[in-house]
Amino acid sequence: MRTPQGDPAPDDAELVGRVKTGDRAAYRELLRRHGPGIHRYAERLVRDPAEAEDVVQETFLRLWLRAKDYDPVARVTTWLFRITHNLAVDRLRKRGRSAFTEDPDMEPGPISVNPPALLEGKQRAEALTAALDTLPPRQASALSLVHLHGMTGAEAAAVLEVSEEALESLLSRGRRALKAQLAGSFASDAGGTP
């Protein structure tokens, strides 16, 4: 990636280093790069638009005030998602929802997708979101971090503070549950193409 002047764009870690010195342009660039993903992840966790916005604001406030806490051993994305994750879990606890301490074998709720539709575009994304919402939060988070936010297993495990083995288990169970939820909408079930 290059800047409009043709210089190589600074990487995330370099930008965080500049935020430490009060560089607002570096802060805005990190916001541009990661704001939408962080927002999506916060929404996935707290499932309340206003509260998700508060979590995102707190995350970026921490980036601004606590950039010195960033350890370059981890990717900036992992660090930011970890902050978001902790803030969201704190809020869920205050709300009285033990979202991340649920029975690991808990089965998802009833299906909310309209089978056997071959959904397209926005409808398809909404159906997926509805199906993800029925999963236990840790499974949904694991799937979201790996598939939507492009994290490696090790990075997602670091965000969720679990071992890679535990992450694989969350992913497997999440995928199995999603398949069950979306079964009627799968193209292979309807004889069409996805």
Partner 1 sequence: MTTLTEDRFRKLAEAYGSELERWPGAERRAARELILMRPELRAVLRAEAELDAWLDSARVEPLPASLLERLEAVPQNAPQPFPWRARSLLTPAVGWAFAAAFGLWLGARADALDVDLGNEDTVEGSAGADDAELIELASGDLAAFEELP
Q: Please say which residue, 6 or 50, places its beta carbon nearer to partner 1.
A: 50
- In the chain, the amino acid numbered 56 is V
Burial 39-77 (b: 16+ CB within 10 A, else e): bbbbbbbbbeeebbebbbebbbebbeeebeebeeebbbb
- Which window, 74-82, 92-100, 102-110, 123-131, contacts partner 1 (CB under 8 A)? 123-131
* Minimum CB distance to partner 1, residue 53 (Å): 5
When binding is defined by CB under 8 A, the residue of 75, 115, 118, 169 that contacts partner 1 is: 169
Question: Is residue 175 helix, strand or coil?
Answer: helix
If one asks whether residue 178 binds partner 1 (CB under 8 A), the answer comes out as: yes
When binding is defined by CB under 8 A, the residue of 9, 106, 117, 187 that contacts partner 1 is: 187
If one asks whether residue 184 binds partner 1 (CB under 8 A), the answer comes out as: no
Hey, how many other C-beta atoms are within 10 angstroms of the C-beta on 131?
A: 21
* Minimum CB distance to partner 1, residue 168 (Å): 4
Specify which residues 8 forms β-bridges with.
Answer: 2
- In the chain, the amino acid numbered 166 is A
Q: Please say which residue, 97 or 175, places its beta carbon nearer to partner 1.
A: 175
What is d(CA 131, CA 181) in angstroms, rounded to the nearest whole number?
A: 6
Which residues are within 8 A (CB) of 141 and not within 5 positions of it... i.e. 6 or more apart? 41, 44, 45, 85, 159, 160, 170
Show contacts with partner 1 in window 59-118 (CB under 8 A).
60-61, 64-68
Residues binding partner 1 (CB under 8 A): 19-22, 24, 27-28, 31, 35-37, 39-40, 53, 56-57, 60-61, 64-68, 121, 124-125, 128-129, 132, 143-144, 146-149, 152-154, 164, 167-169, 171-172, 175-176, 178-179, 182, 186-188, 194
